[in-house]
Amino acid sequence: MSVWDELTGQSEAIAIFRAAAADSSLRDAPIGDSAMTHSWLITGPPGSGRSNLAYAFATALLSPPDPEGEEATRRQVAARTHPDLGVLSTEGVIIKMADVQKFVTTSYFSPSVSRYRVMVIEDADRMVERTSNVLLKALEEPPPRTVWILCAPSEADLLPTIRSRVRSVRLRVPDVAEVAELISRRDGVDLATATRAARESQSHIGMAHRLATNEEARRRRQLTLDIALGIHSVSDAVVAASKLLALAGEDAKAITEERDAEEREGALRSLGIEPGGTIPPALRAQLRTLEEDQKRRATRSLRDGIDRIMVDLQSLYRDILLLQLGVPSEPINLAIHSQLVSAAEATTAAATLGTMDAIATARKRIDGNVSPALALEAMLISAAR
């Protein structure tokens, strides 16, 4: 069994990384036209398995004699405990500059057990310009045994100065059939459900897994589409926006609430405070820091929830538009085909395109910190027309 087996639909990218890992384990020679280089960028749409591929490559590099990946190394990488692996990821909206500075410092340590030190940055697009600049020097001239792997949705998300310092590998959107096959094999769901989940998640592997295995997630998605199709006036739109926001909030809460409580309890225990006991003033600052981190995570998770809703809505209007233009292509939301047809007859293609533009605008606005309620309302009002 090899580390590359569990990755779906990315055979071209896997070939590149496998060659690089093999090449690096064959010789110690200077990097010229070899398949290996010192900094990599993996780009691809969300859910295509960027970070999984990054960790597979890391495993292959960290287990030198074997480009297929040793079992022990694989387990250490999976637990993120390998001594020569550095990981920077974030649960907040952005990666903090101080974290990157610390991370860059550790990249100058020599590897202790492997031939390489591998530094992985998930979500490299979540760095603002100032923060990215901290990386430049380390990316351009890393110590001889350090390899950088960055992940981002697209090259355009990174500064040109970063792009010019990395070798870029693009992932493609996996086929619906491939994702469905993976989901039904791994999660033991029947193929019909898996196919529907794969199609509705637009081949996002993580989302497909969630839709296929979680009844509640399926219900929320269905509700989102129903709400959007039921908008006929400005008043409807405003009410719908508040409903959608509540849905996203529920979604986010389901993910974070339990963890927040657990973390707080853990922190109290490690500070030596009995459950229910009062917190001495001197220790309050520490708990406050924890709460601030949790709040950042909640913001991110609410935004992710809203983002999922927008992806779902975009798929809905895409389907309607294709019907209006008479393009013979399989709709994403096959399950509600009759509703799609009646919605397509009620409006024109131009109006549908306008709504899709409004979704894109709302996305941009939320990125610019506009209050999500207001951005959603403005978006849905254009759907009402």
Partner 1 sequence: MAGKAAPKAAVAIPQLGWSKVRPATIVLVSGTEDFLADRAIRILRDTLRAEDPSLEISDLEADAYGPGELITLASPSLFGEPRMIRVTGVEKCTDAFITETLAYLESPADDTYLVLRHAGGVRGKKLLDAIRGGLGNGIEIVCAELKKDSDKLDFAAAEFAVEGRRITGGALRALASAFSDDLAELAAACQQLLADASEEITEATVEKYYSGRVETNAFRVADIAIAGRYGEALVLLRHALASGADPVPIVAAFASKLRTMAKIAGARGGSGQLAQQFGLAPWQVDRARRDLQGWDDAGLGRCIELLAETDAAVKGGGRDPVFAIERMIGVISARGA
Nearer to partner 1, 145 or 385 (CB): 385
Q: Which of residues 174-233 bind partner 1 (CB under 8 A)?
A: 233
Q: How far is the CB of 378 from partner 1 (least distance, A)?
A: 4
Nearer to partner 1, 158 or 379 (CB): 379
Q: How far is the CB of 365 from partner 1 (least distance, A)?
A: 5
Q: Which of residues 343-362 bind partner 1 (CB under 8 A)?
A: 362
Q: Residue 369, interface with partner 1 (CB under 8 A)?
A: yes
Nearer to partner 1, 236 or 304 (CB): 236
Q: How far is the CB of 278 from partner 1 (least distance, A)?
A: 9
How many residues belong to the site for partner 1 (CB under 8 A)?
Answer: 24
Q: Which of 85, 302, 306, 375 binds partner 1 (CB under 8 A)?
A: 375
Q: Which of residues 226-285 bind partner 1 (CB under 8 A)?
A: 233-239, 242, 281
Nearer to partner 1, 253 or 385 (CB): 385
Q: Which of 16, 97, 353, 370 binds partner 1 (CB under 8 A)?
A: 370
Phi/psi for 117 (5° steps) reads -105, 125
Nearer to partner 1, 123 or 377 (CB): 377
Q: Residue 382, interface with partner 1 (CB under 8 A)?
A: yes
From the CB of residue 96, how many other CB atoms can be counted at a distance below 10 Å?
A: 15
Only segment of 38-46, 159-167, 253-261, 375-383 that touches partner 1 (CB under 8 A): 375-383
Q: Residue 384, interface with partner 1 (CB under 8 A)?
A: yes
Q: Which residue from 50, 49, 61, 51 is spatially nearest to 85, judged by alpha carbons? A: 61
Q: How far is the CB of 364 from partner 1 (least distance, A)?
A: 8
Only segment of 18-26, 92-100, 205-213, 368-376 that touches partner 1 (CB under 8 A): 368-376
Q: How far is the CB of 235 from partner 1 (least distance, A)?
A: 2
Tell me the C-alpha distance between 173 and 48, whole Å.
6
Q: Residue 374, interface with partner 1 (CB under 8 A)?
A: yes
Instruction: List residues binding partner 1 (CB under 8 A).
Output: 233-239, 242, 281, 362, 365, 368-371, 373-375, 377-378, 381-382, 384-385
